[in-house]
Structure 1
Amino acid sequence: MNQIVDWLVGLMDTIGPMGAGLAVALENLFPPIPSEAILPLAGFAAARGSFSVLEAIVWTTAGSVVGAYLLYAVGAAVGRDRMRWLAAKLPLVDVADLDKTEAWFHRHGPKAVFFGRMIPIFRSLISIPAGITRMPPVLFGLLTLAGSAIWNSVFVIAGYYLGANWAVVEQYASIFQKIVIVLVAAAVVIWVVRRIRARHGHRAATEAQARDQEF
């Protein structure tokens, strides 16, 4: 983490707020570079007079949008047909699950993209289903811009006022991220258990029906 911070500081010292924007764009593609560290550090750099708070927010938000569009392009390149093919190959996954997810995203996609930009893990990943379902690029960009501007502003301003103690923001954000990870892991486990039970129930019912037909 110290090496990442040193790299970020050097990047911002070299090319100013554009360095913070570049780092945020890369964060969408390389999660080990956490925005929870980039944004408050950009705020701290603004507090030192390296650039203004507004510049930090504008450039980091621009970086968020650029990174999101890159992942949107990945989702669009994969496409619906490839995703259905992949779903058919995965254990415990039915193509019907993908259809339900796609239908849900068509109904709630705008809200998912907007609020997803403020949730760790989902902040980057939400761009992929948006690309797969071919959400209108302009709408996707506006929603990403709005959600990212809110998230980035909170962290940049916090870093600005905390100054040398900017790392406190990252510590609390890390706790929030761990909570999200635990909730996601729990949801996955519950889904897997339910799917296995459903498969066993369906198999038992099929076998019972076959025995009845024999008699």
Structure 2
Amino acid sequence: MEELFFDFIDQFGYFAVGALIFIENVFPPIPSEVILPLSGFFTTSTDMVLPLVIISATAGSVLGAYILYGIGYVLSRERLMRFFDTRPMRLLGFKGTDISSAVDWFDRKGQITVLICRCIPVVRSLISIPAGTARMNPVKFTLFTLVGSAVWNTILCSLGAAAGSAWETVSEQAEWVSDVVKYVIIAAIVVIAIVWIVKRIIPNLKKQ
């Protein structure tokens, strides 16, 4: 995959950087931890310059984020509430009011997470979905996404440029951090699932 990225950026320059990061935002398994340091490296071996690489990557980030924002927008509060009020979901301990409460919390206190999560591997793209569901103000969403993405892109592109031909070392370190975050998230999900089973699902089954 690295060779594919290399050839694409080598041939299409800034457009390739923006396009790859756009795709990475829509399909998070594609690693920005590889694309961004590689893009930074190209500023040392071609006539590409770091500021324009960062701008291209950030433009791709914002456009990609709006795809997921749109998905969240379609999955409105009302639709999700109806889904979680179905019998199968209620047997799993869910209630429609859970969604309403979550969206209300996001409206009151959670919008800043869009800015913060843009700098965190794994969740940096997915945070756009709850923002869409909560119908977060598009201007604020754009601003938070732009700033958070610019920070992430600047760090990895700059490190790639500084490392030069050793850009893969930066990529490996960034992927290591990403893997740690993944393990933490998985562990948190397991703990939450256990607590959910004990507090919600088991009591519901006893009532049947």
Match of residue 15 from structure 1: 12
Counterpart residue identity of residue 121, structure 1: V
Deviations 1:187-209 (A, max 9, x none): 222222212222335766x69xx
Q: Tell me the equivalent position of 1:37.
A: 34
Indicate the residue corresponding to 1:211 in structure 2: none
State how 1:160-171 maps to structure 2 within 5 Å. Answer: 160-171=161-172
Contact 2:81–2:97 (CA under 8 A) maintained in structure 1 = no
Alignment map for 1:1-215 (pairs within 5 Å) = 4-89=1-86, 90=89, 91-199=92-200, 200-201=202-203
Task: Decide which moves more: 176-185 or 159-168.
Answer: 176-185
- With structure 1 as the length reference, what TM-score do the two structures score? 0.87
- Aligned mates of 2:83, 2:47 — CA distance in 1: 48
So what's the TM-score if we normalise by structure 2? 0.90
> Which moved further from structure 2: 70-79 or 155-164?
70-79
Please list every run of 5 or more consecutive structure 2 residues that lacks an aligned counterpart in the other structure: none
CA distance in 1, matches of 2:142, 2:55: 15
For residues 101 and 166 of structure 2, the distance between their equivalents in structure 1, rounded to whole angstroms, comes to 45
Structure 1 window deviating more from structure 2 (25-34 vs 78-87): it is 78-87
- Compared CA separation, residues 73 and 202, structure 1 to 2 (3 A): closer
- For the residues of structure 2 that align with 1:86 and 1:170, how far apart are their CA atoms? 41
- Tell me, in whole angstroms, the C-alpha distance in 2 between the residues paired with 1:85 and 1:22: 36
C-alpha distance in 1 between matches for 2:167 and 2:109 = 35
Q: Would the alpha carbon gap of residues 88 and 120 (structure 1) be closer, same or farther in structure 2, given more than 3 Å must change? A: farther
* Deviations, residues 129-175 of structure 1 (Å, cap 9, x unaligned): 11111101111001100000011000000000101111112211222
* 3-state SS, counterpart of residue 166 of structure 1: helix
Q: 2:101 is paired with a residue of what secondary structure?
A: helix
Identity %: 36
How many correspondences in the alignment? 203
Superposition deviation, residue 103 in structure 1: 2.1
> What is the root-mean-square deviation of aligned Cα atoms in Å?
1.8
1:116–1:122 Cα contact (<8 Å) kept = yes
Offset from partner CA, 1:68-117 (integer Å, 9 cap, x none): 01111111112112222333343233323322321221122331000110
- Is the Cα–Cα contact under 8 Å of residues 92 and 192 in structure 1 kept in the other structure? no
